[in-house]
Amino acid sequence: MKTTNFVRKEDASNNWYLLDADGITVGRLASMAALLLRGKHRPDYTPHIDMGDHVVIINAEKVVFTGNKWQTQKYYKHSGYMGSLREETAEELLEKYPERIVQFAVQGMLPKNRLGRKLNKKLRVYAGPNHQHQAQMPVAIEVSENKFIKAASKVVGG
């Protein structure tokens, strides 16, 4: 009788990947980043273990929304006090904190539990082209509009 082999968290290796958000739609970029953070591109993927890699996203200020989502997409925050619900559009959020648009999109595609919170800590988003993770030697992945699944398969070596 065969048994299923699960990877232990001690045996999981974490790589670093660099995604350039220049001219990429927010949803496509976020789904690619969530796939890498979760570790679903690996052949030894285990759902309940942190198998994912570290993801660095640069040029977050140059992301693209389709349609008129710059005016209609709303982001909400609440302090917990009555009457303190605040909303701002994507256009307003881009002016103040451009990296938060990508962070919120990726966070929405991760699990809503302690594993998702752990995976979210492996995401680093920067508004401009400079980042401080050159020492980790991140592998740059080309994320185009039509070929982001092929880019994920190239990460594994397929």
pLDDT tens figures, 2-26 = 787 778 877 777 899 999 999 999 9
Instruction: Using the predicted structure, report yes or no on whether residue 155 has a pLDDT greater than 80.
Output: no
Percent of the chain with pLDDT over 70: 91
**Would you say residue 5 lies in a domain?**
no
Q: Is residue 2 part of a domain?
A: no
Instruction: Give residue 153's pLDDT.
Output: 55
Residue 151, domain extent? 16-156
In a domain, 9, yes or no: no
* Residues 96-123 pLDDT 10s: 999 999 999 999 999 999 999 999 999 9
Is the pLDDT at 154 greater than 80? The verdict is: no
Q: Is 121 domain-assigned?
A: yes
CATH number at residue 47: 3.90.1180.10
- Laid out side by side, the sheet with 123-125 consists of 123-125, 54-58, 16-20, 139-141
> 133-150 pLDDT, tens per residue?
999 999 999 887 655 555
How many Å apart are CA 100 and CA 58, to the nearest integer?
12
Q: Is residue 8 part of a domain?
A: no
pLDDT at 147 (0 to 100): 57
Domain contains 142: yes
How high does pLDDT run on average in the chain? 89
Domain tally for the chain? 1
Q: Is residue 60 part of a domain?
A: yes
Cα–Cα distances in angstroms (integers) from residue 91 to residues 79, 94, 95, 149, in the given order: 22, 5, 7, 28
Q: Say if 11 falls within a structural domain.
A: no
Alpha helices, DSSP H, located in 6-158: 26-38, 69-72, 90-96, 98-108, 114-120, 148-156
